[in-house]
């Protein structure tokens, strides 16, 4: 495949901050990619290059744009790109740093995503199909629709309320993506009414990911409102919860400072066990800080004997405990070294997959393959700052991820991903 041109520009993300869009042209057409951006980023993520000057509060991406147009483009224009691997390797060599600090992971991921779309078009296959072919070079994996996780109440770094838990995700349990989307949307709309009636109109203001951001303090309150809304719609048996605690955000000097009080890692683990015994929680993402491996391992070590023996735990626990997914995000940052370290320490049994945490499609697929080899659950994820780009939907199907999270079933940039999955599901049924 010959690349005819590669252009980049600074655009707005869903928070109104600058991000990158690239346009890569081949004889098959123009292929666009938009780069997402996190707010609660892990410190081990690859570097997102920002201009850091007074313009745009230091968040401009003109240096990254320049890196695409002046460093990457001259190396790939008019060259024959034979595969995703070779293109990504070329970008990695041009960067040559561990954290992608020369070119910026945001610059690199933009080119990697657009090239992936172009390579799929070159083969005349849908993007999810091409990603699946790439993934199958590493491990056999049939195409599969992920189960969506809808973030219906926002807290933490994504909202102006006191909730420590960043994301309260509703995970519908129906068999098809379309049914799951409908359940998520019904619960979301009913939650809007419940919050408005019980708390007042300001409770339905939304956070960065489109979930409501009511002035609540405690996780129990948030989940009670969601359960009430589900019950009103007769859907309470059809939903489960996954929480993204994003605990690095409130970890200070070895302690977890929350609205519920100050916890040690052990204390917080006890709190989770209590919560799991009361609510239908099937997963907790980032329950502890990104380098607090002891607490992560403690939680898992108390789950393992339960799972292996299939018997009543010697620890306060409810029906959900033996199946709980303990999911790394800031912990694992889609980085193979971090994933291996987390496995070594038995810190988690699931992980978030975010391409922009690592910088190239090839590396993200390698990370996913590693996680699958460990039999971890994978949640393909958006970022809190998004664009209309729906690449992650094809990615989730292509690697057969168990889950996808793309915020609430509302707001254009979030709905774009869910709507793309609807389309893929109907294509695959034909
Ligand atoms: C997350 O923490 O999982 C998330 C999507 O938030 P952000 O993009 O702000 O890191
Ligand atoms: Mg997270």
**100, 238, 240, 354: which is the annotated catalytic residue?**
354
98 CA from centroid of ligand 1 (Å): 22
Give per-residue pLDDT as tens, 252-267: 999 999 999 999 999 9
**DSSP string computed for 13-30:** -TTS-EEEEEEEEETTEE
Q: What are the tokens at 246?
A: 């994003």
Catalytic residue flag (residue 209): yes
* Inter-residue contact 109 to 35 (CB < 8 Å): yes
The predicted pLDDT at position 318 comes to: 40
| Confidence bin at 320 (pLDDT 50/70/90) | very low
For residues 84-91, average pLDDT: 98
| Average pLDDT score, the chain | 95
Is the distance from the beta carbon of residue 40 to the nearest atom of ligand 1 less than 6 Å? yes
pLDDT confidence band for 322 (50 / 70 / 90): low
Q: pLDDT digits over 11-66, tens only?
A: 999 999 999 999 999 999 999 999 999 999 999 999 999 999 999 999 999 999 99
- Is the shortest distance between the CB of 384 and ligand 1 below 6 Å? yes
Which one of 13, 155, 166 would you pick to mutate in the ligand 1 pocket, going by the greatest count of ligand atoms within 8 A of its CB? 166
For 219, 248, 287, 289, the CA distances from 252, given in Å and listed in that order, are 20, 8, 15, 9
| Model pLDDT, residue 305 | 54
pLDDT of residue 369: 98
pLDDT single digits (tens) 183-241: 999 999 999 999 999 999 999 999 999 999 999 999 999 999 999 999 999 999 999 99
**Contact assessment for residue 134 and residue 402, using Cβ atoms and an 8 Å cutoff:** no
Q: Please tell me the residue having the least CA distance from ligand 1 atom 2.
A: 40
Q: Is the pLDDT of residue 314 over 80?
A: no
Atom number in ligand 1 closest to CA 383 = 8
Rounded Cα distance, 47 and 110, in Å: 14
Contacts of 54 (CB under 8 A, 6+ apart): none
Among 17, 46, 151, 167, the mutation site with the greatest number of ligand 1 atoms within 8 A of its Cβ is 167
Residues 6+ apart with CB under 8 A from 399: 131, 132, 135, 141, 353, 365, 368, 372, 378, 380
> 405 CA to middle of ligand 2, Å?
10
Kindly give the distance from the C-alpha atom of residue 41 to the centroid of ligand 1, in angstroms, as a whole number. 7
* Atom of ligand 1 minimally distant from the CA of 36: 8
Secondary structure of residue 35 in the 3-state scheme: coil
Distance CA 102, CA 96 (A): 8
- The CA distance from 172 to 251, in Å, is 31
Q: Is the CB of 329 under 6 A from ligand 1?
A: yes
Q: At what angle do helices 361-373 and 105-122 cross, to 10 degrees?
A: 90
Q: Ligand 1 in contact with 383 (CB < 6 A)?
A: yes
Domains of the chain (ranges; CATH) run: 5-124 (3.30.390.10), 147-429 (3.20.20.120)
pLDDT at res. 92: 98
**Ligand nearest to the backbone CA of 383:** 1
Buried b / exposed e over 333-365, threshold 16 CB at 10 Å, is: bbbeebbebbbeebbbbbbbbbbbbbbbbbbbb
Task: Say what the pLDDT of residue 244 is.
Answer: 98
- What digits encode the pLDDT tens for the residues 353-404? 999 999 999 999 999 999 999 999 999 999 999 999 999 999 999 999 999 9
- pLDDT tens for each residue of 124-165: 999 999 999 999 999 999 999 999 999 999 999 999 999 999
DSSP letter for 52, please: -
For ligand 1, the distance from its centroid to the CA atom of residue 384, given in whole angstroms, is 5
Gap from CA of 40 to ligand 1 centroid (Å): 5
User: Is residue 356 within 6 Å of ligand 1 at its C-beta?
Assistant: no
* pLDDT for res 302: 83
246 lines ligand 1 (CB under 6 A): yes
Q: How far is the CA of 394 from the centre of ligand 2 (A)?
A: 20
Q: pTM here? A: 0.96
Which of 209, 285, 363, 413 is the catalytic position? 209
In the DSSP assignment, the letter for residue 205 is -
Closest residue by Cα to residue 247 from 321, 328, 308, 171: 328
Ligand nearest to C-alpha 157: 1
**Packed helices 265-278 and 219-232: angle between N→C axes, nearest 10 degrees:** 20
pLDDT at 316: 43
Of the candidates 352, 356, 333, 418, the one whose C-alpha atom is nearest the C-alpha of residue 36 is 356
Q: At what angle do helices 293-309 and 265-278 cross, to 10 degrees?
A: 40
């Amino acid at each position: 495949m010959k690349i005819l041109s590669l252009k980049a520009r600074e655009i707005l993300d869903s928070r109104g901050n600058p991000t990158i869009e690239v346009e890569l042209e081949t004889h098959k057409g123009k292929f666009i990619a938009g780069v997402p951006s996190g707010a609660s980023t892990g410190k081990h993520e690859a570097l997102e290059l920002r201009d850091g000057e007074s313009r745009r509060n230091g968040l401009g991406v003109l240096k990254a744009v320049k890196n695409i147009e002046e460093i990457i483009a001259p190396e790939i224009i008019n060259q024959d790109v034979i595969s995703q691997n070779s293109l990504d390797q070329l970008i990695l060599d041009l960067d040559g740093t561990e954290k992608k600090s020369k070119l910026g992971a945001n610059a690199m991921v933009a080119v990697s995503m657009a090239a992936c779309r172009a390579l799929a078009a070159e083969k005349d296959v849908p993007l999810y199909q091409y990603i699946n072919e790439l993934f199958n070079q590493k491990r056999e994996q049939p195409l599969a629709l992920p189960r969506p996780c809808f973030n219906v109440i926002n807290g933490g770094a994504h909202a102006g309320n006191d909730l420590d838990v960043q994301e309260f995700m509703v995970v519908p349990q129906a068999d098809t993506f379309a049914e799951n989307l409908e359940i998520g949307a019904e619960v979301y709309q009913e939650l809007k009414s419940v919050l408005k009636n019980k708390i007042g109109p300001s409770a339905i203001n939304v956070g960065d990911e489109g979930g409501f951001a009511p002035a609540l303090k405690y996780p129990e309150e948030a989940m009670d409102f969601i359960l009430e809304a589900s019950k009103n719609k007769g859907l309470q048996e059809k939903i489960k919860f996954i929480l993204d605690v994003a605990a690095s955000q409130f970890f200070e000097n070895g302690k977890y400072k929350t609205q519920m009080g100050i916890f040690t890692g052990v204390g917080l683990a006890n709190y989770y066990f209590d919560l799991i015994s009361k609510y239908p929680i099937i997963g907790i993402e980032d329950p502890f800080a990104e380098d607090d491996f002891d607490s992560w391992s403690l939680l898992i070590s108390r789950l393992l004997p339960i799972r292996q023996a299939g018997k009543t735990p010697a620890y306060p626990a409810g029906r959900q405990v033996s199946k709980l997914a303990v999911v790394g995000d800031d912990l694992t940052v889609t980085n193979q070294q971090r994933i291996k370290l987390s496995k070594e320490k038995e810190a988690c049994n699931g992980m978030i997959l975010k391409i922009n945490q690592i910088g190239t499609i090839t590396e993200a697929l390698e990370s996913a393959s590693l996680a699958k080899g460990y039999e971890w659950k994978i949640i393909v994820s958006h970022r809190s700052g998004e664009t209309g780009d729906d690449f992650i939907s094809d990615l989730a199907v292509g690697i057969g991820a168990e889950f996808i999270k793309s915020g609430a079933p509302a707001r254009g940039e979030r709905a774009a991903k869910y709507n793309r999955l609807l389309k893929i599901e109907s294509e695959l049924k034909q």
